[in-house]
């Protein structure tokens, strides 16, 4: 069974607007991915990652573990720390963020006739 996303948008009413929106998203994703590539390769990012983001991530992990090990867990605090952890992981691992954007870009290019922007 073929589960590919080969869709001919030209036959769907209102698809011109959708195609334009997808092309705009495609262009935006390309710019974001290029910016992330430049940031990830910079010495400044390595310094920030090591000195700030890795430390923040480790701190949040310790606080989350301590809260989870309490005999009476304060759920709002646990949820808040989980949110902080998610934020810290997103910025500590720009490679993962870049990969998510690349996946989205690939999906968009499968839908847009002609494959999107170069």
Share of the chain above pLDDT 90, in %: 40
Q: Does residue 104 surpass a pLDDT of 50?
A: yes
pTM of the complete model: 0.64
Q: Are 111 and 9 in contact (CB under 8 A)?
A: yes
- Count of alpha carbons within 13 angstroms of residue 29, beta-carbon side: 22
DSSP secondary structure string for all residues of 49-84: IIIIIHHHHHHHHHHHHHHHTSSS--HHHHHHHHHH
- 8 is written with which tokens? 């001919």
Q: Does residue 44 surpass a pLDDT of 50?
A: yes
The pLDDT value given to residue 4? 44
For 4, 6, 82, 111, 117, the CA distances from 9, given in Å and listed in that order, are 14, 9, 40, 8, 17
The pLDDT value given to residue 14? 61
Q: Does residue 15 surpass a pLDDT of 90?
A: no
């Amino acid at each position: 069974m073929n589960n590919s996303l080969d869709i001919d948008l030209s036959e769907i009413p209102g698809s011109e607007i959708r195609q334009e929106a997808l092309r705009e998203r495609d262009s935006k994703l390309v710019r974001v991915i290029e910016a992330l590539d430049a940031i990830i390769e910079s010495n400044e990012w390595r310094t920030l990652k090591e000195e700030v983001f890795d430390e923040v991530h480790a701190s949040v992990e310790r606080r989350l573990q301590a809260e989870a090990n309490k005999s009476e867990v304060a759920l709002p605090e646990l949820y808040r720390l989980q949110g902080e952890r998610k934020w810290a992981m997103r910025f500590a691992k720009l490679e993962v963020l870049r990969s998510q954007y690349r996946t989205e870009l690939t999906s968009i290019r499968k839908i847009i006739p002609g494959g999107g922007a170069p």
